[in-house]
C-alpha cells in the first residue's frame, strides 16, 4: 500500500511525530514517533514543522470575498457593509463570483483549511447568481480532491409583505440547485422570532442543517439565540443547528450568558464566533472602552457547548483585511477572547468540524487524514508566527505545499524565521 509519509515533525505537544496517511481510504494509517519509509511512500520532510489537525472554516462568504478594492464600506459598520454590497449586486456576474470564490478557496486550502462552509447570498436583487458558481466550485473542489465545501443559502429578508412568497420560492430553488444548508439573518428581519421559526420549519421540512446569522449586534435587547435553541431542543432536530456570531450574548450578564450557554450545550446548537469581522464591524462610534464584539466564548466553553471559530469575511466591505488563515483566527481568539492556544486551535479545527457535521480529526491511526504541518516549535509558537511554510493534507493526499526560506545578512540561513 503506497502512502504519504510525513516524517521528522512534531505533534502539538512538541514531541516527535511521524504520520503515514492512506490516500485510498483518506485516513491516517499509522502514527508514531518514528516510522520507517516504505519504498512506495511519498515522503515529505517535516523537520521544524508542527503537525496539527487541519483547520476547517465554518463561516466564509466566498461570493463576497476579495471585493474590497471595488466595493467601499463608507461607514465601516454592518449596515454600511450591507448597503454597499446590495448596491453592488446588479453589477455582479457569475464569472466574477466564480473567479473570486476560487481564489479565496485556494487561499484557505494553501493555509491548511480542508473543509469550508460558505454562506451565499440569495435574494430578489441577486436571485441565484451567487449560488450557481459557488455550488459549481464545491463540485470542482470535490472532483479535484482539494477540499470539502458546504454551501449555505443565505436568504435575504423581505422588505415588503409582497416579497415573502417570491423569497420562499427562491430559497427552495437555491436548495434544489444544490445548497446544503438553510441560512438566514433573523436579527435584520423586522420580526426576528418569526424569521427564526420560518427558517427552522423549512430546514426541518426538508431535513437539512440550519446555520443562521444570529444576533450580529451589540444591542442587548436583540437576543434571539434562545429561540433557535428552544426550537431545536423541543423538536429533537438532528440535522445540525449552528448559530453564527451571537454578539449580543457577549453583552449579557454572566448569569444570562451561563443560562443560554447551558441551553446551547444541552440542545447541541453549535456557536460560531468570528473575531476578525466582529472586531471590524462592531463597536463603531463607541469612543470609550469599546466592546470587542465577540460572543460569550468563555461561558459557552464552560457550559460544554460546541464552539467553532472562523474568518468570515475576507477583504470585502464587511472586513477590509484577513488572510484566509485559521492561524490568524486562532491568534485573534487568544488576544480577543482570552483562549489558550489549545482552546483556540480546537475552535478553528475540531470545533469547526463539529459545527459542520464532520467527524473529528485526531493525529492517530484510523482518524481522517486531514493534517496541517506548519513551521513552529509548538502549537503556541506556530500560532504566534503564522508562518506561510506549510504542508496541507486532505483525504490522505498532499494538496498544497508552501516553502519559505529566510536569511539574515550576510545570507546566513535562518530557518527559525521562516
Ligand atoms: Zn457571515
What does the pLDDT read at residue 214?
97
User: What pLDDT does 349 receive?
Assistant: 98
Sign of the dihedral defined by the CA atoms of residues 371, 375, 381, 387, in that order: negative
Question: How do strand 390-394 and strand 397-402 relate by DSSP bridges?
Answer: antiparallel
**pLDDT reading at 401 higher than 90:** yes
User: Could you tell me where the beta strands, DSSP code E, fall in 90-206?
Assistant: 115-122, 148-155, 181-184
Share of the chain above pLDDT 70, in %: 98
Residue 7 in this model has a pLDDT that exceeds 80: yes
The rounded mean pLDDT for the chain is 95
- pLDDT given for residue 135 in this prediction: 98
Residue 302, phi then psi, degrees to nearest 5: -60, -35
Residue 359 to residue 138: CA distance in whole angstroms = 19
Cα–ligand 1 centroid distance for 389 (angstroms): 29
Q: Which of the pair, 412 or 133, is modelled with greater confidence?
A: 133
Distance 311 CA to ligand 1 centre (A): 9
CB-neighbour burial class of residue 124 (10 A; exposed 0-12, middle 13-18, buried 19+): middle
Binned at pLDDT 50, 70 and 90, residue 414 comes out as low
pLDDT in tens, 229-247: 999 999 999 999 999 999 9
pTM of the model: 0.96
Q: What is the pLDDT of residues 352-379, one digit of tens each?
A: 999 999 999 999 999 999 999 999 999 9
Backbone phi, psi, residue 380, to 5°? -60, -40
Res 28 pLDDT > 70: yes
- For residue 205, report the distance from its CA to the centre of ligand 1, in Å: 24
Q: How far is the CA of 20 from the centre of ligand 1 (A)?
A: 36
Report how far residue 197's alpha carbon sits from residue 346's, in angstroms, rounded to the nearest whole number. Answer: 31
In this predicted structure, what is the pLDDT of residue 44? Answer: 97
Residues 6 or more apart in contact with residue 27 via CB below 8 angstroms: 21, 365, 366, 367, 368, 369, 396
Share of the chain above pLDDT 90, in %: 93
State the average pLDDT over residues 390-414: 88
Residue 285 pLDDT: 92
Ligand 1 centroid to Cα of residue 235, in Å, is 26
- 212 C-alpha vs ligand 1 centroid, how far in Å? 9
Query: How far, in Å, from the CA of 285 to the mean position of ligand 1?
Result: 22
CB proximity list for 97: less than 8 A, separation 6 or greater: 63, 129, 130, 133, 134
Residue 251, pLDDT above cutoff 60: yes
For residues 349 and 364, give the distance between their C-alpha atoms in angstroms, rounded to a whole number. 15
Interval between CA 21 and ligand 1 midpoint (Å): 34
User: How far away, in angstroms, is 228 Cα from ligand 1 center?
Assistant: 17
Average pLDDT for residues 66-74, to the nearest whole number? 93
Query: Beta 27-32 vs 371-375: how paired, if at all?
Result: unpaired
How far, in Å, CA of 72 to CA of 60, rounded? Answer: 19
pLDDT digit string (tens) for 177-212?
A: 999 999 999 999 999 999 999 999 999 999 999 999
Residue 415: what pLDDT? 60
Distance 59 CA to ligand 1 centre (A): 6
What region, left, alpha or beta, does residue 315 occupy, with left being phi > 0 and alpha being psi -120 to 50 degrees?
Answer: left
User: How far, in Å, from the CA of 120 to the mean position of ligand 1?
Assistant: 9
Instruction: Output the DSSP codes for 348-369.
Output: HTHHHHHHTTPPP--SSTTSB-
Amino acid at each position: 500500500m503506497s502512502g504519504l509519509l510525513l516524517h521528522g515533525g512534531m505533534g502539538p505537544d512538541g514531541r516527535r511525530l511521524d504520520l503515514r496517511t492512506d490516500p485510498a481510504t483518506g485516513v491516517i494509517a499509522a502514527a508514531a514517533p518514528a516510522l520507517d519509509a516504505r519504498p512506495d511512500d511519498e515522503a515529505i520532510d517535516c523537520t521544524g514543522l508542527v503537525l496539527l489537525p487541519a483547520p476547517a472554516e465554518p463561516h466564509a462568504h466566498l461570493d463576497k470575498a476579495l471585493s474590497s478594492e471595488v466595493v467601499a464600506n463608507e461607514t465601516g459598520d454592518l449596515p454600511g457593509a450591507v448597503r454597499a454590497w446590495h448596491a453592488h449586486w446588479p453589477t455582479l456576474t457569475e464569472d466574477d463570483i466564480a473567479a473570486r470564490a476560487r481564489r479565496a478557496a485556494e487561499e484557505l486550502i494553501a493555509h491548511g483549511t480542508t473543509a469550508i462552509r460558505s454562506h451565499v447570498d440569495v435574494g430578489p436583487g441577486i436571485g441565484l447568481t451567487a449560488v450557481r458558481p459557488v455550488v459549481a466550485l464545491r463540485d470542482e473542489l470535490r472532483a479535484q480532491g482539494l477540499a470539502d465545501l458546504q454551501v449555505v443559502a443565505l436568504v435575504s429578508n423581505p422588505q415588503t409583505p409582497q416579497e415573502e412568497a417570491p423569497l420562499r420560492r427562491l430559497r427552495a430553488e437555491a436548495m434544489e440547485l444544490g445548497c446544503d444548508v438553510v441560512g438566514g439573518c433573523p436579527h435584520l428581519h423586522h420580526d426576528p422570532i418569526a424569521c427564526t421559526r420560518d427558517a427552522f420549519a423549512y430546514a426541518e421540512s426538508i431535513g437539512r442543517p440550519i446555520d443562521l446569522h444570529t444576533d450580529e449586534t451589540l444591542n442587548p435587547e436583540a437576543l434571539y439565540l434562545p429561540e433557535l435553541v428552544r426550537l431545536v431542543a423541543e423538536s429533537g432536530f438532528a440535522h445540525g443547528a449552528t448559530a453564527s456570531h451571537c454578539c449580543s450574548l457577549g453583552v449579557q450578564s454572566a448569569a444570562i450568558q451561563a443560562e443560554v450557554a447551558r441551553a446551547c450545550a444541552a440542545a447541541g446548537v453549535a456557536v460560531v464566533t468570528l473575531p476578525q469581522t466582529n472586531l471590524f464591524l462592531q463597536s463603531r462610534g463607541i469612543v470609550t472602552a469599546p466592546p470587542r464584539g465577540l460572543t460569550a466564548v468563555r461561558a459557552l466553553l464552560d457550559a460544554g457547548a460546541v464552539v467553532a471559530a472562523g474568518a468570515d469575511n475576507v477583504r470585502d466591505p464587511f472586513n477590509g483585511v484577513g488572510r484566509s488563515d485559521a492561524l490568524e483566527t486562532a491568534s485573534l481568539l487568544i488576544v480577543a477572547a482570552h483562549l489558550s492556544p489549545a482552546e483556540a486551535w480546537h475552535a478553528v479545527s475540531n470545533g469547526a468540524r463539529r459545527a459542520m457535521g464532520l467527524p473529528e480529526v485526531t493525529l492517530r491511526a484510523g482518524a481522517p487524514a486531514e493534517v496541517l504541518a506548519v513551521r513552529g516549535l509548538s502549537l503556541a509558537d506556530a500560532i504566534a508566527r503564522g508562518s506561510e511554510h506549510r504542508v496541507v493534507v486532505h483525504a490522505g493526499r498532499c494538496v498544497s505545499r508552501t516553502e519559505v526560506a529566510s536569511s539574515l545578512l550576510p545570507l546566513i540561513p535562518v530557518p527559525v524565521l521562516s
